[in-house]
Structure formats: C-alpha cells, structure tokens
C-alpha cells in the first residue's frame, strides 16, 4: 500500500511537556493512569472522516485548497470507487500513525453516491467490507456511524421532517442501511444530526406535523436497532441553527423535552458538540451538565468556535480552561461509557501541508489530555465539591427537608416567615472558585 503521510514514518510518540518536537504528544500519554483509568480509555479519541478526508478546503467563496488527491476536484476523471479506496487507505494510515483508537463516518464519506439507492447501497457495502479489513489490520474501531441526510438536493426540506413522505421513506431506507453497516463494523454508537430537520419560515411550515414525523422516524430507528441486535447507543446531536434557520434539536434541553414528549427518553441520548453548544448560547460544560442531569449524556464532538464569528467554525479545541470545565462534568459523572471525543474539527483552509492534519489532531488531543488532568486534579482536591455542598446545607436541615418532602405548605411557610428577619446572605464566591480552577490549570503536569 503506498503511503500518503510519508513524513511520519512511526506512530506519533509521547515526549512530555518539555519536548519541542511538533510531531509528538506533549500531554497525551495513552497508558498514563488518571483517576483509575488509562488516558486512552478516558478520552476515547476519534478522528472524523468528513473534515479530514472528504473536505478539499472549499468554502462559499472559493475552490478547494487542500492536498486531497482522491477528491473529485483534483481527480475529476477517477473512478469514484477507486478514489474512495485511496481515501480509505490514507484515512486508516492517518488513524494508525496518530494512534487514535476510533474513527467516525457518514455513509457518503466512505462510499460515494451511486446515482440510485441500489447502487449507493452496493457501494457502501463494498466500502464497509474494506473498512472491516482496515479495522482488523490496524485495530482502529468505529466510535459511530451516521447517514448523511442533508447534502443531497432531495433533502432540501429535511429528511424525517420533510413535507413529502417519499423523502421520509428514502431517509428511512438510508438510515436502515447505514445502521446495518455500523453494526457490521462493531460501531459503539449511531448518531443522528438533524442537518435539515428544522425550518426556514413558519409561513410554509407545520411544526406539529414535523415534530410528530421526527418522533416516528426515531422510534423506527430504535425498533430497527433492537431488531438487528445493535448494542450501541442511538445519539441525537443538538445544534441550534445552520443550515436551517431554526433546528428542532436546538440544544440539550430542547432534545430532552422532545424525548420526554414522545416517550423516547430511555432509548436515545445526546452527542454534544462544543461549537453547537456555544452557538446555542450555552457553555460546553452547561450542555454536558444538562445531559448528565437528564440521564442522556452519550458522546462529544470536540471542537471550538470563534469568539467573533457566529457560525460553526469547527476549529480544533485549544482552550485548556474551556475543555477542563467540560471534562470536569464528564469525569465527575463517571466518564464515557459508549461515547468518546470525536474531533469534528477541521483545518483552516490555508493549512495545506499534509502534516497539518497531524498538528491539528496533536494539539486537540494534548488539549483534551491536559483538560482531563485538570479535571481529575480538581475532583481529587475536592475544594469545589466541598464549596458546593456547603452552599446547599440548608436544604439538608429541617426546613429544607420539610419543604422538599411536602410536609410544609405555602400557608405554613407564610406563618413561619411573618415574625422572622431577613435570611442571611452569603457570598457566591465565584472569583475565588475561578482562581482555584486557574491554579489547577497552571499546576498540572
Ligand atoms: C454538523 C455536524 C455533523 C455531525 C454529523 O454541524 O456536527 O458533522 O457531527 O452529521
Ligand atoms: Co458534529
């Protein structure tokens, strides 16, 4: 097999924080045990196929810039399946050299559209057989698969939420086939991002119908999963907007309300993407905490937005502090089970060297590894937990318990309050707590 990433001949080594080697890990040490688990098992890194191998760098203003010789931009006359095979060789070469234990794909990332459903499905089957061989050879596993229900023009008005049931049927067929493929490849999860499940204008949209359709679609996915014996988790990926003006899976709270309304809460969890969280006006850590609280936390798409740009930038995560606060919620809740950290992150359009794909992922993995160390140290130190517990002690006392267990009612609280003075106010201490976090960020090694 001819190699694509020829500058990197060995697996990227761990050399520690003092190394200046840009093609080495400085913090991610797969075998290092943190809070009782190997780093690799905590973080469960995945590389995404779409940004790293499918995207040629095009944007709405200009053509592809990246060195992706299998891409139709650069090989317009190549046989699509030959090109897909060359792309898969390069992808698995990259996963293995990086030392990423997992990858993720859309059906159309690994197998090109065949023009008809039948031909597309046959191509996917052929490429899945090849992916199984690559997985066997390299030991790389599939974190999740997903069907692309947003790129083809047939999905212009959505997939499950389309006003035309023929489109719903097509999407259902595509998901059935892709879920089977994910199952065959031993996928740990199956993701549904509602790329066009939303609307542009209420003037032509029947909200109630579209939500009922979406719920029926998801119920069918759950039924199919059970029928084929897929043991992985089904995950919805919330995003507030882009490409549609309003997306139904706006954020974790909206997804949770939807799952409760349609009695799907025990069957479906969420895949939280950092840049989607920030677009919805929330911190990454908030979305994790909301999902953990609702019992629907599944997996993470690790990336970063840009403070000044209000769309989905999908940069590699580089902020240790932001990621530490997210990891604090994840590790505090017991860590990943089926999920992991998928780099739904892409290079900037000018990053045209082949090695840039390594630099992006090395930076992201080191950032997340450091964030894990910070989170584990904060949890071990216990100051934040002690502070939080102290803040709520009143609720463990007589008054708090009698309010919560219902032995005291509104009128009784009225009578109790009449002759009392003001409650004693105490400091929330936010700055002191932020300083504690900053100290851990600075100190961990
Ligand atoms: C889009 C996005 C997708 C999903 C998979 O914003 O995040 O790549 O992760 O369809
Ligand atoms: Co994503």
For 345-360, write each residue's pLDDT tens digit.
999 999 999 999 999 9
Distance 273 CA to ligand 1 centre (A): 8
CA distance 182 to 173: 14
Q: Provide the Cα torsion 116, 130, 271, 227; round to 10°.
A: 70
Which tens digits make up the pLDDT trace of 33-51? 999 999 999 999 999 999 9
Return the active site residues. 106, 109
Specify the pLDDT at position 43: 98
**280 within ligand 1 shell (Cβ under 6 A):** no
pLDDT higher than 90, residue 54? yes
pLDDT higher than 90, residue 78? yes
Specify the pLDDT at position 1: 78
pLDDT, mean of residues 387-415: 98
Specify the pLDDT at position 167: 98
pLDDT higher than 90, residue 343? yes
Distance 274 CA to ligand 2 centre (A): 9
Q: Closest residue (by CA) to atom 5 of ligand 1?
A: 193
Q: Closest residue (by CA) to atom 2 of ligand 1?
A: 193
Which tens digits make up the pLDDT trace of 260-287? 999 999 999 999 999 999 999 999 999 9
Whether 249 contacts 240, CB under 8 Å? no
Residue 275 class from Cβ within 10 Å (0-12 exposed, 13-18 middle, 19+ buried)? Answer: buried
CA distance 223 to 267: 10
pLDDT band at residue 8 under the 50/70/90 scheme: very high
**Lookup: tokens for 305:** 């937005």
Q: Closest residue (by CA) to atom 6 of ligand 1?
A: 312
pLDDT higher than 90, residue 293? yes
Distance 300 CA to ligand 2 centre (A): 8
Q: Closest residue (by CA) to atom 10 of ligand 1?
A: 193
**170 within ligand 1 shell (Cβ under 6 A):** no
pLDDT higher than 90, residue 53? yes
pLDDT higher than 90, residue 391? yes
CA distance 71 to 69: 5
**287 within ligand 1 shell (Cβ under 6 A):** no
Q: Closest residue (by CA) to atom 3 of ligand 1?
A: 193
Distance 179 CA to ligand 1 centre (A): 17
pLDDT, mean of residues 365-388: 98
Q: Mean pLDDT over all residues of the chain?
A: 98
The pTM of this model reads 0.98
Whether 207 contacts 244, CB under 8 Å? no
**249 within ligand 1 shell (Cβ under 6 A):** no
Q: Which residues sit opposite 270 in a β-bridge?
A: 236, 297
Mutate to test the pocket of ligand 1, among 110, 155, 182, 193 (most ligand atoms within 8 A of CB): 193
CA distance 17 to 27: 6
User: Percent of the chain scored above 90 by pLDDT?
Assistant: 99
pLDDT, mean of residues 46-60: 97
The alpha helices in 60-206, defined as continuous H runs, are 80-98, 107-110, 117-138, 165-184
Whether 326 contacts 372, CB under 8 Å? no
Specify the pLDDT at position 133: 98
CATH code reported for the domain at 33-381: 3.20.20.150
**301 within ligand 1 shell (Cβ under 6 A):** yes
**344 within ligand 1 shell (Cβ under 6 A):** yes
pLDDT, mean of residues 154-183: 98
pLDDT higher than 90, residue 56? yes
pLDDT higher than 90, residue 208? yes
Specify the pLDDT at position 36: 97
Distance 428 CA to ligand 1 centre (A): 37
**Lookup: tokens for 439:** 């100290």
Q: Closest residue (by CA) to atom 8 of ligand 1?
A: 344
Q: Which residues sit opposite 25 in a β-bridge?
A: 14
Which tens digits make up the pLDDT trace of 413-424? 999 999 999 999
Specify the pLDDT at position 330: 98
Q: Which atom of ligand 1 is nearest to the CA of 193?
A: 10
Q: Which atom of ligand 1 is nearest to the CA of 51?
A: 8
pLDDT, mean of residues 168-197: 98
Mutate to test the pocket of ligand 1, among 110, 273, 284, 312 (most ligand atoms within 8 A of CB): 273
**197 within ligand 1 shell (Cβ under 6 A):** no
Specify the pLDDT at position 165: 98
Distance 73 CA to ligand 2 centre (A): 24
CA distance 258 to 349: 37
Residues with CB under 5 A from ligand 2 (ion): 273, 301, 344
Domains of the chain, by residue range, sit at: 33-381, 386-443
pLDDT, mean of residues 88-95: 98
């Amino acid at each position: 097999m001819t190699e694509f990433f020829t500058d990197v001949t060995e697996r990227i080594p761990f050399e520690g924080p003092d190394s200046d080697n840009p093609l080495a890990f400085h913090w991610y040490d797969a075998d290092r045990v943190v809070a009782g688990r190997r780093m690799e098992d905590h973080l469960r890194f995945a590389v995404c196929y779409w940004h790293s191998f499918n995207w040629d760098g095009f944007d709405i203003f200009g053509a592809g810039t990246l060195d992706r010789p299998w891409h139709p931009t650069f090989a317009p006359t190549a046989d699509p399946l030959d090109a897909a095979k060359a792309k898969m060789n390069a992808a698995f070469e990259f996963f293995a050299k990086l030392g990423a234990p997992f990858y993720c794909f859309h059906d159309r990332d690994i197998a090109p559209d065949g023009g008809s459903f039948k031909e597309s499905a046959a191509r996917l089957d052929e490429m899945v057989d090849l992916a199984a061989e690559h997985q066997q050879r390299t030991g790389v596993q599939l974190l999740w698969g997903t069907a692309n229900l947003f790129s083809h023009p047939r999905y212009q008005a959505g997939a499950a939420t389309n006003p035309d049931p023929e489109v719903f049927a097509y999407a259902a067929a595509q998901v059935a086939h892709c879920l089977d493929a994910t199952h065959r490849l031993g996928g740990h999860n199956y993701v549904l991002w509602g790329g066009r499940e939303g609307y542009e204008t209420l003037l032509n949209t029947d909200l109630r119908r579209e939500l009922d359709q979406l719920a029926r679609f998801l119920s069918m996915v759950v039924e199919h999963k059970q029928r084929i014996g897929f043991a992985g988790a089904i995950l919805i990926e919330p995003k507030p907007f882009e490409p549609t003006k309003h997306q139904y899976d706006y954020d974790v709270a909206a997804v949770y309300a939807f799952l409760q309304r349609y009695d799907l809460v025990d069957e479906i969890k969420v895949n939280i993407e950092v840049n989607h969280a920030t677009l919805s006006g929330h911190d990454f850590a908030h979305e994790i905490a909301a999902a953990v609280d609702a019992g629907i936390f599944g997996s993470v798409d690790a990336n970063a937005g840009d403070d000044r740009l209000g769309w989905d930038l999908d940069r590699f995560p580089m902020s240790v502090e932001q990621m530490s606060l997210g990891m604090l919620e994840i590790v505090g809740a017991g860590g990943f089970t089926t999920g992991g950290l998928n780099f739904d992150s892409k290079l900037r359009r000018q990053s045209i060297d082949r090695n840039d794909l390594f630099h992006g992922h090395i930076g992201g993995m080191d950032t997340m590894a450091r964030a894990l160390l910070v989170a584990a140290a904060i949890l071990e130190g216990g100051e934040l937990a002690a502070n939080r517990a102290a803040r709520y002690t009143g609720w463990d006392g007589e008054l708090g318990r009698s309010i919560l267990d219902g032995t005291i009612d509104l009128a009784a609280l009225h009578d109790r309050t009449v002759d009392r003075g003001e409650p004693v106010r105490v400091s929330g201490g936010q700055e002191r707590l932020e300083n504690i976090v900053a100290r851990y960020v600075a100190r961990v090694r």
